Amino acid sequence: MSYVDVGKENSTSIHLYYEDHGSGQPVVLIHGYPLSSASWEKQVPVLLDAGYRVIAYDRRGFGKSSQPTTGYNYDTFAEDLHHLITHLKLKDFVLVGFSMGGGEVARYIGKHGTKHVSKAVIMGGVPPYLLKTADNPEGVDGAVFEGIEKAVSADRYAFFTKFFMDFYNTDVHLGTRVSEQAIQASWNTAAIASAHASLACVPTWHEDFRKDVAKIDVPTLVIHGDSDRIVPFSAAGQRTAQLIKGAELVVIKDGPHNVAWTHAEEVNAALVKFLGKKAAQTDRTKEQAVA
């Protein structure tokens, strides 16, 4: 198994678990809460078959990565991603983020720019800003996030059971687009995550990414289900696509939050088509080629 060292908590090293498969242009997959890199199982083989090098990692606190009690904020998440990219010496890579992973895509570009980033994909992502405020009336009321924090703190296992009902819209898709076993597998992944991380990540969902999104100047694909009950389309995907110049928007009809599983064929087709498009030659790309 492969790990990259991203820091320390007291005497203990913090490692991120990652998998690195195939060859070709690198595509970095960033998972959502409370899952792990294994949640990309319907995308990895399709991307490999299309000729891409596929890299997927577990966010700190989740999957097979270390479970520190520090660093659960987007500046640190972006630096963790930067450590991985630097460790693998990636260039001309694509960032693909689902849910919380959309935040890493935005914050990474906000902090490090797009010199070596070829394209970006945000799927059911938390950008640009989920919290309802005076200057962000389209957001979600803060009481919603407070209620989630209380539920996770009281009994995270019970919370996950309810959470995955809305994650997959089981009242609509159970037995057709998602099985009870797949939901159980998601629950099992959530259950082995760090209890600290499971709680500490919740307030990061309403991080303000508006300045970060404004810095995204590479071809970008936004994918979002129009029936997303976790990250509402109107508050997130729709606005992200509007804020990024030239962004492509794919709305998955009747899609829940995790369309990568329930609507994998549609998502994969959109993803492969977008990745295969030649980016328009611009002064910026010309400058990068010379640099």
CATH code at position 285:
3.40.50.1820
Q: Is 228 a catalytic residue?
A: yes
Among residues 58, 80, 212, 228, which one is catalytic?
228
Residue 224 · residue 98 · CB < 8 Å: no
pTM confidence score: 0.94
What are 249-271's pLDDT values in tens digits? Answer: 999 999 999 999 999 999 999 99
Residue of 66, 99, 118, 198 marked catalytic: 99
Identify the domain containing residue 91 by its residue range. 2-290
Q: Once rounded to an integer, what is the mean pLDDT over residues 142-171?
A: 98
Q: What is the pLDDT of residues 184-241, one digit of tens each?
A: 999 999 999 999 999 999 999 999 999 999 999 999 999 999 999 999 999 999 999 9
Overall domain count for the chain: 1
Q: Strand pairing of 12-21 and 2-9?
A: antiparallel
- From 15, 206, 224, 257, active-site residue: 257
Confidence of residue 48 (pLDDT cuts 50, 70, 90): very high
